[in-house]
Chains A and B, each alone.
Chain A
């Protein structure tokens, strides 16, 4: 007897709907066992992870703050991936956007420059992110260079460039040599939505980005082109769609969104430019994009969900004294099950009895 994975004739929509639920169920089951082994009450632990953060305004804000950059970047990436363009370097575009926007903040520091500062920072950051993303896109289109490699390698260039700036020319003179710029002026800071809270305007921008992407993909010819080029390149060619042009376009859009997310993070929750402004948002967003099935609404949910596991993980550390490593195991197991269950959309399990078949053949 053998268990084989067999391709379905067509994708199963039922499984597509319930597979995240199966994944969450399996995760909860596995983690309950792990918590029990650790001597923690599984119900309490799961409560700390999933329920407690959803029950007070403060945690909800924190989830939104954490999800904001993830969702914005992932939306851009999903456009690339739908069009079969593999931008892996959103982290670099995020950093370059943060640097470009910070340039205005640093140069206008203490000059009382006026209300144009923040909008200018946002625009410049988006433009810089787009330009930075165009480097791998153009290399791909003109020279056939793998965009996966070039976009990834440019992450490290951006990282070191930021590092150089905050250690050298932009370093806060009053900062005791710590590698950071001075705190941005109020006019260079993303406004808070709730006084005394941390929720900021960036979360609204992220929602607008989600809505715009949904309209683009669902209602416009361009969106249709993106999907066709990705799903059926030959058909797209016959239809007269230019795949190269789409690579350039989707890279530019995703770079712009990553750059925008970068400056919003720096001018928002961080308040100054420093190394380590991103705990890998650009890479985590790749997971968010796929967890959300490259669908704008799905990405919004996936981004919030990943943020929830992060905040919940912290609360579990505090409330249950569960070590950080367990939180990481938890996230890993969750992703593992989600991806595993997703394969059931296109494949199914079948039991095969090779011996009996052989016997029948002989008979």
Chain B
């Protein structure tokens, strides 16, 4: 008995030291996830990005992730745990991790951090995000062409600028087709809660919407639309298997190339703090195939996508009229400037609703 214990302890020590030796050669890269990796939406896509990274650079790096990390005080500890475990480049993949990431970044100046969708940066903290509003504009155009009732249903998460700008882009795209289009918005105050998302989808359909759009992370709304024989747009990931006859398209987050690029920079010693905000042209996201729509709608969507990619069409082009009928100041010349889009806190004309708490 004693021999077995001794052997086990020796094994334990050996395994520990072997682990340490191989880890020292490899760059450790950490990820903090908001949802479970199986959410089939936001976190799932980040996990796909991580897997792409491992596939490309797996012999040079070791990756670790923590999933289901709430956006509160626990996230600061989780980030710090990754630092203490020797991770040198850490991706924190939700808006609510902004302040905790910044706090930890200040404490560990030699570790590099990458925060998704935020606006605070530091010499060792980058931000990265995508111009999803471009995809929303295309979706708005499709929605207006496909809707019979002229009412779109929109499931919002939190009324932060990213989500508000998505609603505006959708409406601008839709108004370009049908100036009288209406949108109903339900805020579920969560990024991931399939039960709440499904309830919101049902409520929107009951209120006369016939197309569901969402800024939340699970495929629950897609399933509801599918059950009711209505149409919907997926979010973050390919959701067609949850609504084979319902999904029109989906904005696909494609983080893999970005993660690979940043880790390569870290390996080469050329990592710099910067703000990456890519659109369709830089492949930060992609559109899922256009399905469940007539050919002419599909063709129009493809043309719009090509125009946005080429830069000839900008969803937030001037003049833009806000909800109160006043024209929005045009800081970017012919379009709104990035600051106006990233801090967007108003609805465009034609939305009969108000931003919660405003």
Contact = CB atoms under 8 A, between A and B. Distances in A.
Interface of A: 41, 43-44, 47, 58, 62, 65, 163, 167-168, 171, 176-179, 183, 196, 198, 265, 269-271, 274-277, 279, 311, 314-315, 317-319, 321, 323-324
B71 A276 contact: yes
Contact of B85 (A171, A311, A318): A318
B121 to A, nearest CB: 15
B82 A318 contact: yes
B81 A315 contact: yes
Interface of B: 8-9, 11-12, 15-16, 30, 36, 64, 66-68, 70-74, 76-78, 80-82, 84-85, 95-96, 99, 107, 119, 158-161, 164, 189, 343, 345, 355-358
Contacts of B76: 198, 269
B71 A44 contact: no
A179 B188 CA distance: 13
A321 B28 CA distance: 13
A43 B11 contact: yes
Contact of A269 (B73, B85, B160, B164): B73
B160 A177 contact: yes
Contact of A47 (B12, B64, B67): B12
Given A178-B95, A179-B189, A167 B15 contact: no
B119 A176 contact: yes
A2 B66 CA distance: 47
Given A167-B356, A198-B77, A318-B81, A179 B66 contact: no
B158 A177 contact: yes
Nearest to B163: A177
B161 A177 contact: yes
B64 A318 contact: yes
A225 B12 CA distance: 53
Contact of B64 (A65, A179, A276, A321): A321
Contacts of A265: 73
Contact of A270 (B73, B345, B357): B73
Contacts of B355: 177
A271 B8 CA distance: 45
A270 B161 CA distance: 23
A348 B8 CA distance: 35
B345 A318 contact: no
A317 B66 contact: yes
Given A44-B15, A317-B64, 17 more contacts: A43-B12, A44-B16, A58-B80, A58-B84, A177-B164, A178-B95, A178-B96, A178-B158, A179-B357, A269-B73, A269-B76, A270-B73, A276-B72, A314-B66, A315-B81, A318-B81, A321-B64
Contacts of A311: 77
Contact of A43 (B8, B64, B160): B8
A163 B67 contact: no
B160 A178 contact: yes
Contacts of A179: 158, 189, 357
A177 B70 CA distance: 19
A274 B16 CA distance: 40
Given A171-B357, A177-B355, A318-B82, A274 B66 contact: no
A279 B74 contact: yes
A198 B75 CA distance: 13
Contacts of B72: 270, 274, 276-277, 279
B81 A314 contact: yes
Nearest to A327: B68
28 contacts: A43-B8, A43-B12, A58-B80, A58-B84, A163-B189, A167-B356, A167-B357, A171-B357, A177-B158, A177-B159, A177-B161, A178-B96, A178-B158, A196-B107, A265-B73, A270-B73, A276-B70, A276-B71, A276-B72, A277-B72, A279-B74, A314-B66, A314-B81, A315-B81, A318-B64, A318-B81, A318-B82, A318-B85
A167 B82 CA distance: 31
A196 B106 CA distance: 10
A324 B67 contact: yes
A178 B160 CA distance: 6
A168 B187 CA distance: 14
A177 B12 contact: no
Contact of A177 (B66, B119, B345): B345
A93 to B, nearest CB: 19
A15 to B, nearest CB: 26
Contact of A168 (B73, B161, B357): B357
Q: Which of A41, A265, A274, A318 has the most CB atoms of chain B within a 10 A radius of its CB?
A: A318
Nearest to A278: B72
Contacts of A321: 64
A62 B77 CA distance: 8
Contacts of A163: 189
The 9 closest A-B CB pairs, nearest first, are A269-B73, A167-B357, A318-B85, A177-B159, A270-B73, A43-B12, A168-B357, A276-B72, A177-B160
A242 B84 CA distance: 54
Given A196-B107, A279-B72, A176 B357 contact: no
A282 to B, nearest CB: 15
A270 B77 CA distance: 11
Contacts of B15: 41, 44
A42 to B, nearest CB: 9
B58 to A, nearest CB: 14
B13 to A, nearest CB: 10
Nearest to B37: A323
B84 A314 contact: no
Contacts of B12: 41, 43-44, 47
B70 A279 contact: yes
A47 B9 CA distance: 11
A339 to B, nearest CB: 25
A314 B170 CA distance: 40
B164 A318 contact: no
A176 B345 contact: yes
Contact of B36 (A62, A196, A318, A324): A324
